[in-house]
């Protein structure tokens, strides 16, 4: 009876996960330019096939083919209109690409016309060095081609065992140290959208099993409740160390030069996380909890709305209304939806509806919204003032974390 219930529960969560993926895909494609919609749906096709007429083709022997990928009706029509009715080679051996996922602001309320599309491409652990070089070259060609047609796409090629076993990786031509990137895995788990390939295993494993994550998964495989070919296992979370907060803040300070609003929100999230140290509950764990309970909070588990909720609760707890006001303004700029521009009801998208509800909850007046709208996409004095505020806030956040590290004897724990 217990076995039947466990199996039923996994199937239920799997269906919910697929529904969340589909909702996020729909939101990604809603109210976007036609070329963006086409590229988003073509990306798995470019990686699944190897043909001179398909972008990303190189003459060298390059790995291609995504696990369990099947063209849907829209993709089939796009392929026909793009290259015609050509004969395509299909990989007959085990597919070398485990899965393809978009992540970050994509599909969230903060996806706007200026947003990049970050695509994570996980490859099999058994690819040799030359295979990886060739596949990376293919991704670079695809990235440049997408930019030429007006869509900013960043491809990140990742060994499927990178997070789990700390293998070598090729993020931006640099090796990434997993010890400094537990927050990166947290972001992936709560924001990722499966475009093609395997589902993310961690999301269907109950939070209460986190302490024995590996053992629990092995038992599910042995009982036949899970099939390895269906799931990508990136591993569970270990205990957070204080230095990881500081490393994450340093990374966001570096990124804040080009993306001040997004970086500020992430800095505040890390600071909110630090308040709970050493028992930090990551946002991805909240997402999984909702998934298992069948709850749709945060405007449909919107990753940025959930991040805003966590930051808001944190700043209210410490009674920092000044920084809360800055967070809300930065969030408004990041969404980049001018509410003072009136639209017909049939043109009102889901992002705008959420933003209207938020500013009403915040008690913003029309003149305040009008002032912010005039500043969007303009190098006005208001923008410079906000960016100066952000710089001061970043310094304050760093000081808060340094104080926390002193209290928790960071110097004694860092090797």
Asked if residue 159 and residue 45 are part of one domain, the reply reads yes
Please enumerate in sequence order all residues whose Cβ is within 8 A of that of 407, keeping only pairs 6 or more positions apart, or say none.
none
Higher pLDDT, 191 or 409: 191
Q: For residue range 309-361, what is the model confidence (pLDDT) as tens digits?
A: 999 999 999 999 989 999 999 999 999 999 998 876 655 688 999 999 999 99
Asked if residue 212 and residue 171 are part of one domain, the reply reads yes
Asked if residue 273 and residue 161 are part of one domain, the reply reads no
Q: Total domain count for the chain?
A: 2
Asked if residue 265 and residue 130 are part of one domain, the reply reads no
Asked if residue 52 and residue 143 are part of one domain, the reply reads yes
Residues in the chain: 415
Evaluate if residue 380 carries a pLDDT over 70: no
Asked if residue 246 and residue 228 are part of one domain, the reply reads no
Residue 229: both structure tokens together:
């070919």
Supply the range of the domain harboring residue 153. Answer: 2-232
- Report yes or no on 383 lying in a domain: yes
Please report the pLDDT score of residue 123 as a whole number. 97
| Burial of 240 per CB tally in 10 Å (0-12, 13-18, 19+) | buried
Q: What is the pTM of this model?
A: 0.90
**Spatial CA neighbour of 97 closest among 134, 133, 67, 56:** 67
pLDDT class for 1, splitting at 50, 70, 90? very low
Torsion angles phi and psi, residue 156, rounded to 5: -120, 115
Span of 77-81, 267-271, 406-410 with lowest mean pLDDT? 406-410
If you average pLDDT over residues 104-125, what whole number do you get? 94
Which letter does DSSP use for residue 239 in this model?
Answer: P
Asked if residue 247 and residue 367 are part of one domain, the reply reads yes
Evaluate if residue 198 carries a pLDDT over 70: yes
Asked if residue 249 and residue 109 are part of one domain, the reply reads no
Percent of the chain exceeding pLDDT 90 equals 59
Please report the pLDDT score of residue 411 as a whole number. 44
Evaluate if residue 257 carries a pLDDT over 90: no
Asked if residue 253 and residue 126 are part of one domain, the reply reads no
- Report yes or no on 391 lying in a domain: yes
Evaluate if residue 101 carries a pLDDT over 90: yes
Evaluate if residue 410 carries a pLDDT over 70: no
Asked if residue 112 and residue 169 are part of one domain, the reply reads yes
- Report yes or no on 316 lying in a domain: yes
Please report the pLDDT score of residue 167 as a whole number. 54
Asked if residue 206 and residue 114 are part of one domain, the reply reads yes
Q: Three-class SS of residue 240?
A: coil
- Report yes or no on 291 lying in a domain: no
Asked if residue 58 and residue 146 are part of one domain, the reply reads yes
Mean per-residue pLDDT over the chain, rounded: 86
- Report yes or no on 102 lying in a domain: yes
């Amino acid at each position: 009876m217990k076995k039947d219930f466990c199996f039923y529960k996994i199937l239920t969560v799997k269906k919910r996960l697929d529904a969340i993926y589909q909702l996020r895909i729909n939101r990604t494609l809603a109210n976007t330019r036609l070329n963006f919609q086409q590229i988003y749906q073509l990306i798995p096709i470019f990686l699944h096939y190897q043909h001179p007429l398909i972008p990303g083709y190189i003459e060298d022997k390059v790995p291609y083919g995504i696990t369990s990928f099947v063209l849907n009706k829209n993709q089939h029509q796009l392929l026909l209109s793009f290259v015609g009715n050509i004969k395509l080679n299909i990989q007959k051996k085990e597919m070398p690409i485990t899965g393809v996922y978009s992540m970050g602001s994509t599909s969230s309320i903060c996806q706007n016309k200026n947003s990049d599309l970050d695509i994570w491409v996980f490859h099999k652990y058994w690819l040799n060095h030359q295979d990886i070089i060739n596949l990376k070259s293919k991704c670079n060609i695809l990235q440049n081609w997408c930019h030429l047609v007006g869509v900013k796409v960043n491809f990140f090629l990742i060994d499927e065992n990178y997070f789990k076993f700390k293998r070598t990786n090729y993020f931006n031509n640099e090796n990434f140290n997993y010890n400094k990137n537990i927050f990166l895995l947290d972001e992936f788990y709560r924001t990722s959208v499966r475009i093609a390939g395997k589902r993310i295993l961690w999301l269907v494993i109950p939070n209460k099993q986190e302490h024995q994550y590996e053992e629990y998964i092995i038992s599910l495989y042995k009982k036949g409740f899970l099939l390895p070919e269906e799931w990508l296992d990136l591993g569970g979370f270990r205990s957070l160390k204080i230095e990881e907060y500081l490393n994450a803040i340093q990374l966001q300070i570096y990124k804040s030069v080009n993306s001040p609003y997004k970086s500020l929100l992430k800095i505040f999230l890390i600071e909110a996380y630090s308040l709970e140290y050493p028992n930090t509950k990551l946002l991805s764990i909240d997402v999984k909890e909702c998934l298992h309970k069948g709850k749709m909070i945060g405007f449909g588990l919107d990753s940025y709305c959930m991040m805003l909720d966590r930051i808001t609760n944190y700043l209210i707890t410490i009674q920092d209304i000044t920084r809360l006001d800055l967070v809300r303004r930065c969030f408004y700029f990041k969404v980049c939806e001018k509410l003072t521009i009136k639209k017909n009801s049939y043109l009102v998208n889901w992002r705008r509806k959420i933003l209207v509800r938020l500013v009403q909850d915040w008690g913003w007046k029309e003149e305040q919204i009008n002032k912010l709208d005039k500043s969007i996409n303009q190098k006005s004095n208001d923008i410079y003032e906000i960016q100066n505020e952000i710089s001061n806030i970043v310094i304050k956040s760093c000081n808060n974390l340094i104080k926390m590290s002193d209290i928790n004897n960071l110097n004694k724990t860092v090797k």
